[in-house]
Amino acid sequence: MQLCSVLIVLLGSLVQDPNELFSKSDWPNAATAYEQLTREEPDVPRNWMRLGICRMHLKQFDGAITAFEQAIAHKGNEAFARFQLACAHARLGHAEEAIIALTRAAELGSLWASQIKTDEHLESIRSDPRVVALIDKLEHPTRGIRGADALDHWVGEWDVFVSGQLVGHNHITKTLDGYAIEEHWESKTGGRGQSLFIFLPDQGKWKQLWTSDRGWRVEKIGTPTENGIELEGTSTQPDGSSVKARERLTKNQDGTVRQLLEDFDAASQSWKVVFDGLYKPRKR
């Protein structure tokens, strides 16, 4: 009995940790270890996922497909597994299966165009029109969504005028694949301010947060109009006093933009113009 116990301990010490093998990129031994784990714990999706990764590195693509399908069946990270399935099928020349898996990975919301454009496994299907279209869709995810283009006419470098006098410059950029707009304002006298506009795709609206270098802040929600956007919210001073505020950004036929800012005057119960600016493309 004592000899058996010693043998069991010795044999146990020879079994290598699959996670350690995986972290060291020892793919042959890690694959063997995870194969054993999937037999012992077949309901653990992580074991199947890592087995699939090992087999991908070993170019055992048929085996990798089996492992990733098992990972999905056991509620593993489907988006990741579908992308890996696409890679494995592409390497085996299974174009249809690869594109189906790639499309599903995109639908799950965890796929970026750069992955498709750079992963060597997908080289054989990258020029397929369906994959080209998928890349374009991933690079422009907000295209075609109602309200997503409501601020497009404002994007650019601008000189800003009030009553014909230059009052400042504004730099408006679209970022995060169309889900955000950044505003960087600098007045002629040196004052600065910034806005972040966030697109709300479920509502077709935009949310703005503005702050200046003096602590003035504005929070508004914008609704698209036929030729621009209208925003309403609150304008708050550093001392905490606030008023209702609204804004219109309107595209003019000549390519200029009008920005009209108004605050609600409680005393007169009416809207008062606080800024009426004309944006013209900036001259360098």
pTM of full prediction above 0.85: no
Give the separation between CA 142 and CA 261, rounded to whole angstroms. Answer: 27
Q: End of a domain among 105, 139, 173? A: 139
Range of the domain at 192: 152-281
Residues 61 and 156 grouped into a single domain: no
Cα angle at 172 between 170 and 176, to 5 degrees?
A: 155
Q: Which of 139, 173, 200 is the last residue of a domain?
A: 139
Say whether both 126 and 77 belong to one domain: yes
Name the phi and psi angles at 50, rounded to 5. Answer: -70, -35
Domain boundary among 139, 170, 203: 139
Do 132 and 176 lie in one domain? The reply is no
Q: Are 98 and 89 in contact (CB under 8 A)?
A: yes
| Residues 238 and 157 grouped into a single domain | yes
* pLDDT score for 230: 98
Residues 185 and 134 in one domain: no
Residue 180 domain flag: yes
With the C-alpha atoms ordered 87, 88, 89, 90, is the resulting torsion angle positive or negative? positive
- Backbone dihedral angles phi then psi of residue 127, each to the nearest 5 degrees: -90, -5
Q: Are residues 157 and 111 in the same domain?
A: no
pLDDT for 1 equals 44
Are residues 211 and 126 both part of a single domain? no
Query: Domain check: are 189 and 275 in the same one?
Result: yes
Query: Residue 240 sits in a domain of what CATH number?
Result: 2.40.128.20
241 DSSP assignment: -
Asked whether residue 60 is domain-assigned, the answer is yes
Residues 232 and 204 in one domain: yes
Domain count, the chain: 2
CATH assignment of the domain containing 103: 1.25.40.10
SS3 182: strand
pLDDT of res. 231: 98
Position 145 scores a pLDDT of 95
Q: Quick check: helix, strand or coil at residue 216?
A: coil
Q: Is residue 147 part of a domain?
A: no
The pLDDT value given to residue 15: 56
- Ranges of the chain with pLDDT below 70: 1-15
Q: Is residue 145 included in any domain, yes or no?
A: no
Q: What are the E-state strand segments in the chain?
A: 156-162, 165-175, 180-187, 192-200, 205-212, 217-225, 228-236, 242-251, 257-265, 270-281
Residues 53 and 129 in one domain: yes
Phi and psi, residue 282, nearest 5°: -70, 135
Is 114 in the same domain as 182? no
Do both 115 and 181 map to the same domain?
A: no
